[in-house]
Amino acid sequence: MSAKTMKAIFLKSYPEGLPTPELFEQREIDVRSIADGEVLLRTVWMSVDPYMRGRMNPEIKSYIPAFSLDGPLDGGAVSEVVESKNDAFAQGDYVVGFQGGWKEYSISNGGGFQKVDPQLAPLSAYLGVLGMPGMTAWAGLNEILKPKEGETLFVSGAAGAVGSLVCQLGKLKGCRVIASAGSPEKCEWLVKEGGADVTLNYKDYKNARELTKALAEAAPNGVDCYFENVGGMHLEAALNCIAFGGRIALCGMISQYNNTALEPGPSNMVNMIGRGVMAQGFIVSNYMHLAMQFATEVAPLLAAGKIKFRESVYEGLDKAPEAFLGLFKGDNFGKAVVRVGPDRL
């Protein structure tokens, strides 16, 4: 395959507060020829994820480098190998990795990419329930919360890619699951298919006091396990209702990602002392050594129909900024993915 051009999405400047569509720009750039040991990958599906907002602030050191303004954005993608000079990959293979997003093609030496089977699950699932979000849900639940049968599990951001799997895995472990989401449609799905026993539409509550009251009614014996995706009044309400010996997995706090000023911390952290609460922050890369264990448990559940997932699908690379911004507006239901190209050329 000869060198060609491709479309790619660039960040024109770093945002202050909530990003806007004007910050993104689609450009056409050259694709060089591959060298020995490399593969040319055509992006089929790409992922947008909340962690990408942190990469848009170069002044804050994080576990992953900030996006550059000089090159295309990047992120998780499922890609097809269209040309290979690497013995480990053949033309027609599908791979998942973290360098292929936000552009039509990418070139790699194969490092950081894993082959995936399109017969096992839809290709987009490798960016969600069988990908990084799924691994995040599984690791936070099993390695930090370690729920026991009969305990109460509270999940914020429960209709998202991570939260929805936490709910279902928790239910399969015998937990009473309380799920918070932002619309009647999401709450209905969580009860019917998403493993929740009780749902709370957080938009019905004006403040942490009102959410606390609703959560206390839903969990009269307290919250044993809290999977934190949102922060803000959710964390305050959870700390008000946390049970003795409760555990908190701090996965994300999406309500704060676009703040231009520091948000006051919860005033009730003292509850953690007398109730013997454990809270632990984590990122999924801490647990990648357990990836095979995750796949061994979750893939059969998915194949058997015991795990359900939802996707918000955006068609075309030019929709990637819209898909990303939807993460912070509550527009997306389940995993947000962008179909960049057809499964096969």
Over residues 51-65, the pLDDT tens digits come to: 999 999 998 877 888
- What single-letter amino acid sits at 24? F
Q: Using alpha carbons, list the distances in angstroms from residue 224 to 51, 71, 177, 250.
A: 27, 45, 10, 14
138 and 121: one domain? no
**Dihedral of alpha carbons 187, 287, 298, 322, sign:** positive
Longest dimension (CA), the chain: 67
* Parent domain of 95: 4-128+309-339
pLDDT at 32 over 90: yes
Give the per-residue pLDDT at 159. Answer: 97
Flag whether 300 is in a domain: no
Tens digit of each residue's pLDDT (9 = 90 or more) over 94-152: 999 988 899 999 999 988 899 999 998 999 999 999 999 999 999 999 999 999 999 99
Q: What is the domain-level CATH number for residue 230?
A: 3.40.50.720
211 shares a domain with 117: no
**Is the pLDDT score of 1 beyond 80?**
no
pLDDT above 70: residue 3: no
Q: What is the mean pLDDT of residues 211-232?
A: 98
CATH number for the domain spanning 115: value is 3.90.180.10
Whether 240 maps to a domain, the answer reads yes
The pLDDT, as a whole number, for residue 312 is 96
Domain presence at residue 215: yes
User: For the residues 317-345, what does the mean pLDDT come to?
Assistant: 93
pLDDT (mean) for 216-224? 98
Looking at the structure, tell me whether residues 172 and 275 fall in a common domain. Answer: yes
Q: Which pLDDT band holds residue 275 (cuts at 50, 70, 90)?
A: very high
Q: What is the mean pLDDT of residues 303-318?
A: 96
Tracing tokens 């000079």 back to the chain, one arrives at 85
Does the structure show a pLDDT above 70 at 276? yes
299 located within any domain: no
Q: Where are the alpha helices (DSSP H) in 41-131?
A: 51-54
- Residue 298 domain-assigned (yes or no): no
Q: How many domains does the chain divide into?
A: 2
Q: Looking at residues 277-290, what average pLDDT do you find?
A: 96
Q: Are residues 124 and 143 in the same domain?
A: no
For residues 140 and 227, state if they share a domain: yes
Whether residues 214 and 264 fall in one domain: yes
pLDDT for residue 345: 64
**For residue 56, what pLDDT is reported?**
95
What pLDDT does residue 260 have? 83
SS3 track for 177-195? EEEEECCHHHHHHHHHCCC
Domain-embedded: residue 292? no
Both 155 and 277 in one domain: the answer is yes
How many residues appear in the chain? 345
Shared domain check, 274 and 154: yes
Alpha-helical segments (H) within the chain: 51-54, 132-139, 161-172, 184-192, 208-218, 233-241, 271-274, 291-303, 320-326
The pLDDT assigned to 63 comes to 80
Q: What pLDDT is stored for residue 262 in this prediction?
A: 79
Six token digits for residue 308? 């359900």
Q: In terms of domains, do 272 and 140 share one? A: yes
Distance between CA 232 and CA 59 in Å, rounded? 23
Do residues 109 and 194 both lie within one domain?
A: no
186 shares a domain with 274: yes
What's the pLDDT tens digit per position in 183-193? 999 999 999 99
Radius of gyration of the chain (CA): 21
Q: Is residue 223 part of a domain?
A: yes
Owner of token pair 């992922």 = 47
| pLDDT, tens only, 134-146 | 999 999 999 999 9
Please indicate, yes or no, whether residues 221 and 119 belong to a single structural domain of this protein: no
Domain final position from 243, 270, 285: 285
| 290: in domain | no
Q: Which of 240, 269, 285 is the last residue in one of the domains?
A: 285
